[in-house]
Structure formats: structure tokens, C-alpha cells
């Protein structure tokens, strides 16, 4: 495969100078130049024009990449026929370098193109308004005196990214193997996967082969963006299409979390030619070399994973741990897994085993993670905690970014507008550097500001209700978020606690006596407010309050919508 670039001759102006500069940098990268002369096109007959174009593209061969710098100064018809000629060569891929769109009344004659490179957002809008259709749009500036940046942009612009390696060629001796489960009903989840990929490749010199296990929710646009993100670093992606229905379960938490997390369970079955693989969640941020993880010896283990600290922070033990099947001191988080596929296959089919586990423990709240612990915990090597650092706890200690860690956001906001940390800023800059560019972070900021406004509104409503002297009823567990709320409020003698476990009735928590939920029904509406933890009662707390005719934001408030992130709050 060769890469070609056009260059404009026969005229001296700023446009010609810019194209000369780009072509000069391209020749330094061993691109082949295709000379285009500015001349009176109208003097050519159609046959003469076609012969001229054949001469220009004579060096182009099947599967080559051709960068066409526009405008040529020879008019839209000349450029249309040039692109038609190039499309007639088998598997040729075309990149349009649009330096100026103002000379065109319409770009529709150029037809659909694979990729357009443009310098400004306003030019992209102008091209779209003039009818240009492209699969990929890339904003890059070539009007620069920075030769390194010019060559870097040329390489990125001219490189097309295809899954050219089959499973045997993408071998473990040459490539680190990394896998994701991807279910993208909203269209945004793929960008999170792309951000993890970007952070991995920016922090390693190794080649990586990424395995994307997905269903039909992966769009062609997002698929190409994933390929582009990995391809910029000389790494590859293999896509494995699945049927999401095969992973569904009656366990309600399977659908509560992304079903894509269940896709990891089929990896030992599908990746028959691989001995090991690294599985990763999509809410991670690498700030270290993944090769260090890949090189860990797990020949005598099924997995390597980090111990989860959720049970040290107020989360109730699941039944299978209470029964002694797994020690809570060895319970691991499944967001970062180094998987010995051979050892796992010896134990059985992981997906079938998980469905059996969910039939035995239907109320388990972390279905795939609990199943992995149930079957593989005793044969798991516990990793150093730096391989999976929960940001919600890390931020309570520091907002500085640490060296040689992998951050795990675990449902937390990727950027906390109340108190932004260095690792959150690093995440957003990483996401912006993916193939999606600014589009990847725009919704993040808009949602963040919207949710910040929602938190302010809830806080103001709660403050107004407290200021009116209404009785305060606290509905939930006496965990960290509840304790932080207690610290913010002045408690009165008539305030009380409602615990979901009836055995607490009559006891005191945080200085308040525990009552039954039935006691709320006896209260006169408008004289009290309820502060509730929505996750209790298997997520039925809020519906139960609404069944009493209570209105959220007036008669009751969700505690996490009032608290900031480090206090146990979340973005609504």
C-alpha cells in the first residue's frame, strides 16, 4: 500500500503555498506526490480531460490511500471527475484535505467520501450546508510552521484503520490482548470504551489487540471511531458480535447494569486460540503501562484481580459470602481482570455457570461479579491495589493525580463540578483526544451542568423545608451518606429514623429512635419531610413514598441528590 498526496502547480497564491507546504511534509514521510496544474479546464474536451486525469493518477494502485488537497482551482467538475477516477481503482481510499470551502456554491457533486480533513468548525458547517457527505470528519490544522505537528497530522489524516489482522495473526507473542463488553443502547457508551483504549495506548509502547464483544447496538460510525482511535497507535481491533438475549436473566440487576458486562463471560468460549486476556470495564483510566499487568505470571491461577473494598464501606454482604462460600477478605472487583482462559475453561463454561449461580442466588446485586467470585475466588491472584483505584474513595484522600495507577470511576461522575480533581481533568483531556474529539466531551459537560443545577434545586428545597421547622424522618441505613447528612442538619427531639429492617424498631441510630415505615402514614402531610436512600428495599423506597401521595422535592428528598460526590452523593 502506498500513500499519495496531490499538490497544486501553475499558480502562485496562498492556497498554492499551503498545498506546497503540506506536500513537502508528506514527501518527508515517503508519500508520493500527484501533481495537479491550474489551467483553463474549459479548453479541454471531455476525452482530453479524462486522459489528463488518467495521467495524474497513473501511479495509484489498488488499496492505496490518496490525499486530495482542495480546492484545485480547476473547478468542481474537474474535482468530481478526479474523485470518480480514483473510486474506479479497487479499494482505493480517499482523504479530502479541504483548505478552503468558500469558492464552492455546492459540494454535492463530489459525492460521499470516506474522510474529510478540515481546519475549523465553521468550515465543516459550511461544507455540510453545501451538501458534502462524509463517513469521517477530522479537524486538523495544516497551516502551521511546526513541522513535527504537520507531519503528525498528515500521518493521522492519511491513515485508515481496518481490522486487518485475523485472530491467529494478532498473536499473544506480539500483541497484548485486551477485551471489552459493549452494549450501547444510548450511543454514548462506545466513547467510554474508546477513552480507555486511548489511555492504554498513550501509556504503553507495546502493540495491543483489542477484542470488542458487542451486539447490534454498536453503530458503524462508532465502530469506525474505535478503529481510528486504536489505529493511530498501530494497534488493532477485532469485533465479536453477540446476541444480547443470550445473556439476559431474571435477576433484575443484570438489566440495571449494562448487559455488556455479562459479555465477558463468553470470552473463554470464543477466544479458543488465546491462553490469556485482560478484561476491562469501560469506566477506567490508565495512568500506567498495561504491559506490567500483562507480564504478571498467572500460570497457576484462573484470574488476577484487585480486592474490592465495598464491604469495608457499609455495603451488606451477599448471601453466598454469609454462607461461607467466599471470604469477604478475598472478594475481588471485576473491573480489571487478567484472565487465564485455559484454567477457566478447565472449570467449565463461564456463562452457563453464571446462569446457574443466578438461579441459586436470584437476589444477588452484582450478578456477573458475584458469579466470578463464587466460582473463581479461591484460584484468583490478588493484585496490588494500584491496578484498580476507586475514584470515589481516592478523592476523599487527594485530588492530585498519582503515578502508575489505574483509576476506576465505578458509576461516579467523570468530572465533579463541585470539586474537580487532577485525574478527572486528565480523563476529560484523554476523552477529547479520541477519534470522537470534542463530540466525546460535549455531552459530558452539558449533563454535568444540568445535573449540578438539579442538585442545587434539591438542596434549596430541602433547606427551605428544614427552615420551616418540619419534622425530619430519615429512611434508610445508617451508612456514610446518612451520617454525612446528619452532620449537615440540626436534629430535633421529634425527628426519627425508619430502618428497612424491622428488628431496629425501638433502637437508636445517630441519636434518633427507629420507627416503623407504617408510622409515616400517621403523620400529617405538610408537617414533615423524609430524607431517603433510594437503593434500600431493593430500590422500592421511592415508589413506597410516592404511594403515600408524597411528592419528591417537596415532601421527600433523595439523599444522594443533596450530597456532593465525596459525601456519598451522585448526579441525578
| Ordered structural domains, the chain, with CATH | 3-158 (3.40.50.2000), 176-437 (3.90.550.10), 448-567 (3.40.50.20)
Task: Return the C-alpha cell found at 363.
Answer: 437476589
Give Rg (Cα) of the chain.
29
CA end-to-end span of the chain: 51
Q: What are phi and psi of 74, to 5 degrees?
A: -100, 5
Give the strands of the sheet with 512-515, arranged side by side. Answer: 508-509, 512-515, 496-498, 471-475, 528-532, 556-558
> Is the model's pLDDT at 311 over the cut of 50?
yes
- Confidence class for position 253, pLDDT limits 50, 70, 90: very low
- Confidence class for position 249, pLDDT limits 50, 70, 90: low
* pTM flag (> 0.75): no
pLDDT per position as a tens digit, 324-353? 788 878 899 999 999 999 999 999 999 899
Of all residues in the chain, what percent are helix, strand and coil, respectively (each to 5)? 40, 20, 40
pLDDT per position as a tens digit, 123-162? 999 999 999 987 678 888 888 887 777 887 787 777 655 4
Q: What are phi and psi of 2, to 5 degrees?
A: -115, 155
pLDDT > 90 in the chain, percent: 58
Phi-psi region of 553 (alpha: psi -120 to 50; beta: other; left: phi over 0): left
> Is the model's pLDDT at 572 over the cut of 50?
no
| Mean pLDDT, rounded, of the chain | 88
- Confidence class for position 200, pLDDT limits 50, 70, 90: very high
Query: d(Cα 131, Cα 127) in Å, to the nearest integer?
Result: 6
pLDDT at residue 163 in the model: 43
Pair 198, 284: CB distance under 8 Å: no
Q: For 71-123, give the secondary structure using H, E and C.
A: CCCCCHHHHHHHHHHHHCCCCCEEEEEECCCCCCCCCHHHCCEEEEEECCHHH
Task: Return the C-alpha cell found at 443.
Answer: 455531552
> Is the model's pLDDT at 165 over the cut of 60?
no
Query: d(Cα 370, Cα 571) in Å, to the nearest integer?
Result: 26
pLDDT per position as a tens digit, 357-415? 888 887 777 778 889 998 999 999 999 999 999 998 898 899 999 999 999 998 777 88
Query: d(Cα 567, Cα 331) in Å, to the nearest integer?
Result: 25
Amino acid at each position: 500500500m502506498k500513500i499519495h498526496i496531490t499538490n497544486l502547480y501553475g499558480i502562485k497564491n496562498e492556497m498554492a503555498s499551503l498545498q506546497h507546504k503540506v506536500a513537502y511534509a508528506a514527501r518527508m514521510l515517503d508519500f508520493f506526490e500527484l501533481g495537479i496544474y491550474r489551467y483553463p479546464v474549459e479548453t479541454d474536451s471531455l476525452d482530453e480531460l479524462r486522459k489528463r486525469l488518467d495521467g495524474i493518477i497513473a501511479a495509484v494502485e489498488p488499496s492505496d490511500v490518496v490525499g486530495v488537497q482542495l480546492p484545485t482551482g480547476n473547478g468542481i467538475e474537474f474535482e468530481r471527475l478526479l474523485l470518480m477516477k480514483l473510486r474506479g481503482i479497487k479499494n482505493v481510499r480517499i482523504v479530502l484535505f479541504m483548505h478552503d470551502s468558500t469558492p464552492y456554491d455546492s459540494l454535492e457533486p463530489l459525492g460521499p467520501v470516506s474522510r474529510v480533513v478540515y481546519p475549523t468548525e465553521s468550515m465543516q458547517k459550511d461544507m455540510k450546508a453545501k451538501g458534502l457527505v462524509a463517513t469521517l470528519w477530522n479537524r486538523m490544522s495544516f497551516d502551521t510552521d511546526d513541522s513535527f505537528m504537520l507531519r503528525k497530522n498528515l500521518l493521522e489524516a492519511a491513515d485508515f484503520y481496518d481490522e486487518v489482522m485475523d485472530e491467529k495473526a494478532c498473536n499473544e507473542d506480539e500483541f497484548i490482548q485486551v477485551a471489552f463488553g459493549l452494549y450501547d443502547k444510548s450511543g454514548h457508551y462506545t466513547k467510554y470504551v474508546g477513552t480507555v483504549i486511548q489511555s492504554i495506548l498513550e501509556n504503553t509502547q507495546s502493540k495491543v489487540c483489542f477484542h470488542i464483544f458487542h451486539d447490534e447496538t454498536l453503530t458503524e460510525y462508532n465502530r469506525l471511531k474505535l478503529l481510528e482511535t486504536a489505529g493511530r497507535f498501530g494497534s488493532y481491533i477485532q469485533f465479536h458480535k453477540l446476541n444480547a438475549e443470550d445473556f439476559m436473566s431474571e435477576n433484575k440487576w443484570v438489566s440495571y447494569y449494562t448487559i455488556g458486562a455479562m459479555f465477558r463471560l463468553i470470552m473463554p468460549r470464543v477466544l479458543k486460540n488465546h491462553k490469556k486476556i485482560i478484561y476491562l470495564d469501560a469506566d477506567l483510566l490508565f495512568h500506567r503501562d498495561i504491559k506490567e499487568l500483562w507480564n504478571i505470571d498467572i500460570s497457576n491461577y484462573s484470574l488476577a484481580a484487585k480486592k474490592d473494598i465495598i464491604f469495608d464501606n457499609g455495603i451488606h454482604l451477599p448471601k453466598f459470602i454469609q454462607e461461607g462460600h467466599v471470604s469477604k477478605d478475598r472478594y475481588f472487583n471485576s473491573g480489571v481482570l487478567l484472565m487465564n482462559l485455559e484454567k477457566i475453561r478447565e472449570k467449565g463454561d463461564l456463562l452457563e455457570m453464571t446462569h446457574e449461580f443466578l438461579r441459586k442466588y436470584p437476589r444477588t446485586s452484582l450478578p456477573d461479579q458475584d458469579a466470578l467470585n463464587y466460582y473463581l475466588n479461591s484460584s484468583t491472584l490478588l493484585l496490588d491495589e494500584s491496578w484498580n483505584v476507586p475514584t470515589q474513595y481516592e478523592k476523599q484522600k487527594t485530588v492530585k493525580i498519582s503515578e502508575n495507577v489505574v483509576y476506576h470511576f465505578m458509576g461516579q461522575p467523570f468530572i465533579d463540578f463541585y470539586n474537580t480533581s487532577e485525574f478527572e481533568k486528565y480523563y476529560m483531556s484523554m476523552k477529547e483526544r479520541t477519534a470522537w474529539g470534542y463530540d466525546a466531551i460535549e455531552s459530558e459537560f452539558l449533563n454535568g451542568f444540568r445535573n449540578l443545577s438539579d442538585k442545587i434545586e434539591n438542596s434549596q428545597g430541602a433547606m427551605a423545608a428544614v427552615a420551616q421547622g418540619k419534622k425530619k424522618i430519615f429512611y434508610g441505613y445508617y451508612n456514610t451518606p446518612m451520617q454525612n447528612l446528619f452532620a449537615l442538619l440540626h436534629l430535633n427531639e421529634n425527628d426519627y429514623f425508619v430502618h428497612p429492617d424491622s428488628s431496629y424498631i425501638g433502637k437508636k441510630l445517630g441519636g434518633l429512635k427507629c420507627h416503623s415505615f407504617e408510622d409515616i402514614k400517621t403523620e400529617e402531610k405538610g408537617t414533615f419531610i423524609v430524607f431517603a436512600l433510594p437503593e434500600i428495599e431493593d430500590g422500592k423506597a421511592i415508589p413506597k413514598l410516592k404511594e403515600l401521595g408524597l411528592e419528591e422535592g417537596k415532601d421527600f428528598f433523595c439523599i444522594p441528590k443533596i450530597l456532593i460526590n465525596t459525601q456519598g452523593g451522585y448526579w441525578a
